[in-house]
Amino acid sequence: MSDSVSKTQYLQTILELSGGDESTKISNNQIADHLHVTPSSVSNMLTKLQETGEVNVVPYYGVTLTKTGRETAIRLIRSHRLFETFIAEDLDLPVSVAHDNADHLDHDATGQLMDALDSFLKHPKYSPQGLPIPDAEYHYSPEKLTSLYDAKDGETITIHAFTEDLELLRYVETIGLPLNSTWTIKERLPFDGPLILNNDERELQITRHAAEFIYIEQ
């Protein structure tokens, strides 16, 4: 992502990184790493979000969402992931294309439209990236996820989810790493090298950076 990341993406990121825990403070560096932006960009945006009453910033400790900020984040996550599901599954377009287009649709969608789309899609529980979709009452409990990078050598894992990042989605599509596929961690190359995954069909190399944003079932 670039430094032009929208304020709503910041709100979503804070909610995701906190695991839905309203008291968990998220550091500027965590946000910067997740959104691939500079720490100064994070500081500038958090100042704006605090002025609009959407976050509480505690210097040197981190940031939490206010009630207003949390409600905004959950509403946008719901609309974004429903649009992604429709575009990827009903229009049969790549998940990266679905994600990119959902970014342009989710901000202005009304609750009436999203409820109708939810009904049309038969109330999906997860997005095409494997991430939970808030329901019509905006109930939302982000899952505690384990990154691929944290898997042990020799371990057999199943790909559970990808973080919402356009570059990552394009990357996993390019190398052919689908959700729900099962792999064994063969080894990780030295000097911060990639992870080597294999199964009965083929072998893949996953960069360390990408592996930190790919989530697994063990």
Take residue 103 and report the two structure tokens written for it. Answer: 């970014």
State how far the Cα of 118 lies from the Cα of 108, in Å rounded to an integer: 16
Token pair for residue 106?
């989710």
Locate the DSSP E strands across 30-176. 55-58, 62-65, 146-147, 156-162
Angle between helices 67-85 and 7-17 (to 10 degrees): 100
Beta strands in 79-193 (DSSP E): 146-147, 156-162, 182-188
Segments making up each domain of the chain, as ranges = 7-65, 146-217
What's at 81, amino acid-wise? R
Q: Is 165 helix (H, G, I), strand (E, B) or coil?
A: coil
Per-residue pLDDT tens digits of the chain, which is 218 residues long: 334 467 778 998 899 888 777 888 999 999 998 888 899 999 999 999 999 999 999 988 999 999 999 998 999 899 999 999 999 999 999 999 999 999 889 888 999 999 999 999 999 999 999 999 999 999 988 888 899 999 999 999 999 999 988 999 999 999 999 999 999 999 999 988 899 999 999 999 999 999 999 999 86
CB–CB of 173/94 below 8 Å? yes
The DSSP letter of residue 144 is P
Tell me the per-residue pLDDT of 15-40, one tens digit each, with 9 for 90 and over.
Answer: 988 877 788 899 999 999 888 889 99
Residues in Cβ contact with 56 at an 8 Å cutoff, skipping those fewer than 6 apart: 50, 63, 64, 65, 66
Tell me if the domain spanning 7-65 has CATH number 3.40.50.150.
no
Check: CB of residue 8 under 8 Å from CB of residue 76: yes
- Rounded to the nearest angstrom, the gap between the alpha carbon of residue 196 and the centroid of all alpha carbons in its chain is 23
Structure tokens at 190: 């030295």
Residue 47 CB burial class (10 angstroms; 0-12, 13-18, ≥19): exposed
Dmax (CA) for the chain in angstroms is 54
CATH for the stretch 146-217:
2.30.30.90
Cα 30 from chain centre: 13
Q: Is there a shared CATH topology between the 7-65 domain and the 146-217 domain?
A: no
- The separation between CA 13 and the C-alpha centre of its own chain, rounded to angstroms, equals 8
Helical axes 95-105 vs 67-85, angle rounded to 10°: 130
Say how far apart CA 124 and CA 174 lie, in whole Å: 26
- Give the tens place of pLDDT for each residue, 69-88: 999 899 989 999 999 999 99
